[in-house]
Amino acid sequence: MPGLIMDNRPAAHVSLRAVGHRFGEGTWLFRGIESTFGAGDLVAVTGPSGSGKSTLLSLVAGGTPTEGTIERGEGRTQWVFQNPYGSAHRSTADHVALPFLARGMSRTEAEPQVQGLLERFNLSESSAAPFRTLSGGQAQRLMLARALAAEPALILVDEPTSQLDPVNAGMVIDVLQELAGEDRTVLIATHDPRVADRATRRLVLGDPDGAS
């Protein structure tokens, strides 16, 4: 079944052709976006607040732009929301286990992978802590760990470092770069120049010349 074996994960491939979007009769958020990216790419979507970064991510996730086309290849897409959400009384480990259980694994089978993901995101110490007791930064890292548990080919991450201190922000950026290195496609909306500096591709919004 898809997703259980990493080597069977289909490569994501995304092509944006002359993409423009506006809501109703409102002003264009962006127009003329041209970009192709795929496995191995870390794509930074940058621009001022309100320039349409989150909107562009949602279009790549499966929306329809006002003009132009977006082609998406095979592969699971996983969105990591800007605002962490979870079940207040469930533990950190339970949140990460859920995508494995949803694919038919037992909790015992999933446990080593769950602990590995918690370790990767510096969450091992709060493995048993209920979601409601996590700090904003811990919850944000948990969202990334849970997203990875779904073994996506394409990961869309909205402002992943906005609630993190510099040490954890650096750690999250390292992990996002590693994920792209593992032949995933990582698309990040961000204000953080440290993320943009590591990107293999950049989409700059709020710029009349559009994307590069």
The burial of 7, by beta-carbon neighbours within 10 Å (0-12 exposed, 13-18 middle, 19 or more buried), is given as exposed
**Is residue 54 a contact point for Mg ion (CB under 5 A)?**
yes
User: Is position 161 an interface residue for ligand ADP (rule: CB under 6 A)?
Assistant: no
Cβ atoms within 10 Å of 5's Cβ, excluding its own:
9
Instruction: List the single partner that 55 binds among ligand ADP, Mg ion, none, CB under 5 to 8 Å by kind.
Output: ligand ADP
Q: Which of 119, 132, 38 is nearest to 90 (CA)?
A: 132
CB 45 within 8 A of CB 57: yes
Q: Does 55 bind ligand ADP (CB under 6 A)?
A: yes
Out of ligand ADP, Mg ion, none, what residue 49 binds, judged by CB under 5 to 8 A for its kind, is ligand ADP
Sign for the pseudo-dihedral over CA of 84, 192, 190, 121: negative
Q: Which one of the spans 52-60, 92-100, 115-123, 149-157 is the region binding ligand ADP (CB under 6 A)?
A: 52-60
For the bound state, the minimum distance from the C-beta of residue 23 to ligand ADP, rounded and expressed in Å, comes to: 4
Give the interface with ligand ADP as residue ranges (CB under 6 A).
23, 29, 47, 49-55, 189
